[in-house]
Structure 1
């Protein structure tokens, strides 16, 4: 179960459904046994709840539980309140890669905004191209950083711009680094819940000499709607927990350099 507080005991069916959907916004997968314990109902009741939610398209049923639908993710504002110590540790480690006079492209997202804030605090004399208002805002605190905003169609949930105009604009620039987040990380590569944003990240990757993915461990073994990069295209992953199992082997085969940030 996620780090949120346990739900009140003996909720009615509607309240249970709302609780389950809310939990899937913070934990990409849930197990029947965990839900039954948290909601103080039988596993049979939870299975019926999941069946009904699945029929309504609000969840994806899995063997033993439920998963968040591929095309959904909490808003960027909601994600900013999650995994804060882990994201701050990732940001601290990622900022160490940057040198004066580097040119960066930075994608949207909660973790990339944490990284941008850290870059603004400890780096200088940079040029940063971004499509995310949150990234641009935190970088503006450092007067030695030149921020270039890409145009495009505004996505209010994510606070970023995307679309053909965004990709065409990015084609005019070269960068030393692409700093990009992820909705999901699997043995195949990196995926994103928003297809238009995925297209932007793919363009950013191709315009940069090196790409670093910044993502906490909750994204491991999660699959989002749009696969936009395979590990052979990515040089580095900065995260808060060492990958294991098939994911670790996939990263090793692709020679991805993994940095594990230490969370206080």
Structure 2
């Protein structure tokens, strides 16, 4: 390996490490962080994209993976964006009396915004943290689903969880996402994917809450395909391909 090849390899490894922490870095940010030109970064990203290590996006890149960081790590990322998304999502719940809430960093922000609502709601969730946040509101009937514990994500799952979900029809499900593309939403954790799919199936409508880092990505298990009964709340304008697909399927999009 030549000296130049070695430098490039180290730079490629560094780019992948950076994208693992922040999955939606801009070219300008990567160039500044690695102390190289934007043109060098663009060439590196093109090579990593060709190798399947990343997926190029407008102005940057995202790392391709079927895995997500642990919830405790994700809670530190995109906090302001997720707070805006949560506030906008709660505004869509006017008149909603019953609700499923999924797990994840963004849905936890939704729970924090939702607990100040001054009316009765029945809320079912598989997430321990979401249940604890919402239980602080005495007007809410909060039902924590039974099942096997998935400690890293703070969720329950399994056959007992799915049976319980099947007994409750709700007005709306609020769902986070590991990945969002022009087809729909996918989830990295198989055990969670089954729970989320069941929740969506028992709701009249679904609101997906996802920040910009999830856009244009695919993950392990598809949990939702876009349709006229779904809404997406995000923090940045969508790419042309995704925007056109959602518009054609009647999906309501709100930019927080």
Provide TM-score, normalisation by structure 1.
0.79
1:128-186 CA distance string (max 9 Å, x none)? 00000111011011111111111222122211111222111100101011000101110
Q: Deviation per CA, 1:173-209: give whole Å up to 9, x if none.
A: 0101100010111011101111111111111011011
Residue 24 of structure 1 corresponds to which residue in structure 2?
A: 20
1:30-71 alpha-carbon deviations (Å, 9 max, x no partner): 87x975763358969x97xx99xx9xxxx9356899854532
2:113 to 114, 118, 121: 118
For 2:76 and 2:205, how far apart are their aligned partners in 1?
29
CA deviation digits over 1:66-108, x for unaligned, max 9? Answer: 8545321111111111111111111111111224670100000
Q: Give the corresponding residue for 1:109.
A: 104
* Matching of residue 161 in structure 1 with residue 132 in structure 2: no
1:75 pairs with 70, 74, 92, which one? 70
Shift of 1:218: 1.5
* Within-5 A mapping of 1:217-236: 217-232=212-227, 234-236=229-231
Cα distance change on mapping 1:210 and 1:187 into 2, 3 Å: same
The total of aligned residue pairs comes to 240
**Preserved contact between residue 228 and residue 250 of structure 2 (Cα < 8 Å):** no
2:86 counterpart of 1:91: yes
In structure 1, distance between residues paired with 2:123 and 2:88: 18
Superposition map of 1:150-189 within 5 A: 150-189=145-184
Aligned counterpart, 1:6: none
| Cα distance in 1, alignment partners of residues 118 and 95 from structure 2 | 7
Q: For the residues of structure 1 that align with 2:228 and 2:149, how far apart are their CA atoms?
A: 28
Unaligned runs of 5+ in 2: 1-6
- For structure 1, the 5+ residue unaligned runs are 1-10
After the TM superposition, which parts of structure 1 deviate over 6 Å for at least 4 consecutive aligned residues? 13-16, 41-44, 63-66
Matches within 5 A, 1:235-246: 235-246=230-241
**Residue in structure 1 matching 2:134, options 136, 139, 144:** 139
* Distance verdict in 2 for CA 1:101–1:230, change over 3 Å: closer
Residue 252 of structure 1 aligns to a residue in which SS?
helix
For 1:96 and 1:123, the matched residues in 2 are separated by 13
Cα distance in 2 for partners of 1:101, 1:63 equals 39
Q: TM-score, normalised by structure 2?
A: 0.81
Of 196, 199, 223, the match for 1:201: 196
